Chain A
Amino acid sequence: MTGDHDKPAGEGSATTPSLNDQPSVPPSEEAKKIFEEYLKLSTFFKRHQDLILDKLEESDEVAEAAPPNRKIMIFFAESLPIIDGLIQIGTTRKEYDEALKNVGEEIAGWRAQDKTSAAPPGEGQVVAAAPPLDPRNYISALTFEYVVARGLHLAEERAQAQGDAAAHQEAAKRLVVWQRIKHRVDLLTGQGSA
Chain B
Amino acid sequence: MLAKLRLFNPSPYARSGHVTIDWREICDHPPTNPKSLVVRDQAERRLPCQYDPVFPGRAKLSFTLADALPAVGPDGYDYACPLASATVESGTAGEWREPASPRPEAFKVDKEGKLHGVKLRNGLVEIYVNLTAAPWEPRRCWFSGAATSIVLTRGQKHHELLDTNPWEHAAEKRILHLDRLWLPCPAWSWGDRHHISLFDSPYEVFEVSAGPVRGSVTLASSPFEYPYTELGGKEVQKLTCRLFRVLSLYREANHVIEELFVRGSRDGDLEGEEAFDLTFAAHYFSYLRMNGGLRISRFEGIPDWFAITSGRLAVARKFHCYGFATDVHTGHVAHPSPNYPRGDEAENTVSWELLPAKSAKCLHLFSFCHVEDWPWPEEGDFFASEAALAKEARREGESRAGTAWYEHIYEPLKATLLCKEQR
Where the two chains meet, the residues of A that have a C-beta atom closer than 8 Å to any C-beta of B are 48, 51-52, 55, 69-70, 72-74, 76-78, 80-82, 84-85, 88-89, 92-94, 126-127, 129-130, 134, 137, 188, 194
Where the two chains meet, the residues of B that have a C-beta atom closer than 8 Å to any C-beta of A are 164-168, 289, 291-292, 312-317, 343-347, 371, 376-386
Question: CB < 8 Å: which of B312, B376, B379 contacts A84?
Answer: B312
Q: How far is the CB of A185 from chain B (nearest CB, A)?
A: 11
Task: Offer 12 A-B interface pairs, CB within 8 angstroms, sorted by A.
Answer: A48-B167, A73-B376, A73-B385, A76-B382, A77-B386, A81-B291, A81-B315, A81-B316, A88-B165, A93-B345, A126-B381, A130-B381
Question: CB < 8 Å: which of A77, A130, A188 contacts B313?
Answer: A77
List 11 additional A-B contacts (Cβ < 8 Å) besides A72-B382, A84-B292, A126-B380: A69-B379, A73-B376, A73-B382, A76-B382, A77-B371, A77-B376, A80-B382, A80-B386, A127-B383, A129-B380, A130-B381
Q: Which residues of A contact B166 (CB under 8 A)?
A: 51, 55, 85
Chain B: CB-nearest residue to A140: B383
Q: How many A-B residue pairs have CB under 8 A?
A: 82
Chain A: CB-nearest residue to B314: A81
A73 near B315 with CB under 8 A, answer no
Q: How far is the CB of B160 from chain A (nearest CB, A)?
A: 13
Q: Which residues of B contact A127 (CB under 8 A)?
A: 381, 383
CA distance A52 to B382 in the complex (A): 21
| Chain A contact residues, majority secondary structure | helix
CA distance A51 to B165 in the complex (A): 11
CA distance A52 to B167 in the complex (A): 9
B383 near A85 with CB under 8 A, answer no
Q: Which 8 A-B pairs have the closest CB atoms?
A: A85-B165, A130-B381, A137-B383, A76-B382, A129-B381, A69-B378, A130-B384, A81-B315
Chain A: CB-nearest residue to B378: A69
CA distance A52 to B165 in the complex (A): 11
Q: Which residues of A contact B167 (CB under 8 A)?
A: 48, 51-52, 85, 89
B315 near A85 with CB under 8 A, answer yes
A85 with B376, Cβ < 8 A, contacts A48-B167, A73-B382, A188-B382 known: no
CA distance A85 to B168 in the complex (A): 10
Question: CB < 8 Å: which of B164, B346, B385 contacts A81?
Answer: B164
Chain B: CB-nearest residue to A82: B315
B382 near A85 with CB under 8 A, answer no
A89 near B344 with CB under 8 A, answer no
Chain B: CB-nearest residue to A77: B317
CA distance A77 to B343 in the complex (A): 30
Q: How far is the CB of A131 from chain B (nearest CB, A)?
A: 10
A55 near B315 with CB under 8 A, answer yes
Q: How far is the CB of B242 from chain A (nearest CB, A)?
A: 38
CA distance A137 to B292 in the complex (A): 11
CA distance A51 to B371 in the complex (A): 23
A70 near B383 with CB under 8 A, answer no
Q: Which residues of B contact A74 (CB under 8 A)?
A: 376
B376 near A70 with CB under 8 A, answer yes
CA distance A127 to B385 in the complex (A): 11
Q: How far is the CB of B377 from chain A (nearest CB, A)?
A: 6
Q: How far is the CB of B389 from chain A (nearest CB, A)?
A: 8
B313 near A88 with CB under 8 A, answer no
